[in-house]
Amino acid sequence: MEIKTLENIDITLSPTSKINEVDFENISFGNTFTDHMLVCDFADGKWQQPKIVPYAPITLDPSAKVFHYGQAIFEGMKAYKDDQDDVWLFRPEQNHDRFNKSAVRMCMPEVPEDIFLGGLKKLLQIEKDWVKKGQGNSLYIRPFMFASGKGVVAAPAQFYKFMILLSPAKAYYSGEVKVLIAEHYSRAANGGIGAAKAAGNYAGQFYPTKLANEKGYQQVIWTDDATHTKLEEAGTMNVFFRINDILYTAPTSERILDGITRKSLIELAKRENINVEVRSVLVDELVTAAKDGSLKEIFGAGTAAVVNPIVGFGYKEEYYELPKLENSLALELKAKLTNIQYKKADDTFGWTVKI
């Protein structure tokens, strides 16, 4: 695909840049932002003129509905720079599509493509120096929208703010990740908002994750809330299991986010003739496979880490260590996917989009 740059946008450039103050070699994920941001207000039933302005605090009425009723959604994307200094996005139309699905579920207005993708392109053109070359480096992109309309009445707002922030990122390394399978807490309900990238889905995970941290686990593997027998997501990522030489991942549903890394890994695995089956994996099945040695790998899949290998899992007070493999499918797939993202391998899927 090609993104048409949004030209009908008000631009106020920052008189100075922070870029020389940033130590790009030692940057923690999600805490440093570029010089500019995109802002567009929804009012009177329509999107107003989008603006690119210097990164700055925003001012809201304390009764703005985002503070009280949680109407807020986001996306996570990345921009990469190739060896020719061109900047690339990875399947950005998928993020735009999912963003609007989240918007519908949260009763918020959809954001048109020209503002979401065209505005992002313009913003990236201005901030292109913030995208650093080199495997692992990227510019993390955070499009988000929240209810700015006033009033402590539990009903959808009339006013919204759509924004895009950019944050330079190094390769995401989370250390050795052990996961704890949820026996009691849950991430999403049947008929709930688990498939939306809704803000409230994330805050609900913090407490169970804290309890897992206290037991020595970095993340929780979420199970279905009704029976806690089906493995669904790992932390804020989709999750894959390799039993013998078959990769399994749960089908997307109302409870499970339709992850773009997840679906890309499935397509990539198929191209590479890796057996991949999209079906629910049961907790019992995992425990049995861990005991008989057929469980080879578990990994999370998401935009921030791309692929996040897991070294072991806990369940019912038992810890199951995974084998250390020479030929990890997680690392093979991660290498192949990031090579596409960094334009070091042929993009046979047409996933990458030039800025």
Residue 174 Cβ, how far from a second copy at the closest point, in Å?
Answer: 11
Rg of the chain taking only CA atoms, in angstroms: 21
Footprint (CB under 8 A) of a second copy, residues 201-240: 201-208, 210, 225-228, 235-236
User: What burial letters (b/e) apply to 8-44, b meaning 16+ CB within 10 Å?
Assistant: ebeeeeeeebeeeebeeeebebeebbbbbbbbbbbee
Long-range contacts of 108-112 (CB under 8 A, 24+ apart): 108/71, 108/73, 108/145, 108/147, 108/156, 108/160, 109/42, 109/47, 109/160, 111/40, 111/47, 111/143, 111/145, 111/162, 112/47
**Interface of this chain with a second copy, residues 8 to 67, rule: CB under 8 A:** 29-31, 33, 37, 55, 57-63, 66-67
At residue 289, the 3 state secondary structure works out as helix
Residues 298/290, Cβ–Cβ less than 8 Å = no
Stretch that binds a second copy, among 17-25, 68-76, 116-124, 279-287 (CB under 8 A): 68-76
| Dist CA 108 CA 111 (whole Å) | 9
Q: Does 69 bind a second copy (CB under 8 A)?
A: yes
Listed ranges 44-52, 102-110, 267-275, 280-288: which one lies at the site for a second copy (CB under 8 A): 102-110
Nearest distance from C-beta of residue 209 to a second copy, angstroms: 8
In the complex, the smallest distance separating the C-beta of residue 3 from a second copy, rounded to whole angstroms, is 22
> Looking at beta carbons only, is 167 or 249 nearer to a second copy?
167
Contact 187, 250 (CB under 8 A): no
DSSP helix/strand/coil, 121 = helix
How far apart are CB 306 and a second copy at their closest, in Å? 16
What's the rounded Cα separation, in Å, for the pair 245 and 239?
16
Q: Which of 120, 131, 199, 260 binds a second copy (CB under 8 A)?
A: 199
Question: Does the protein bind a second copy through residue 316 (CB under 8 A)?
Answer: no
- Residue 315 sits in the site that holds a second copy (CB under 8 A): no
Among 34, 95, 100, 186, binds a second copy (CB under 8 A): 186
Residues in the interface with a second copy (CB under 8 A) total: 69
List residues near a second copy by CB under 8 A.
29-31, 33, 37, 55, 57-63, 66-72, 74, 104-107, 140, 142, 144, 146-147, 150-156, 163, 165, 167, 182, 184-193, 198-208, 210, 225-228, 235-236
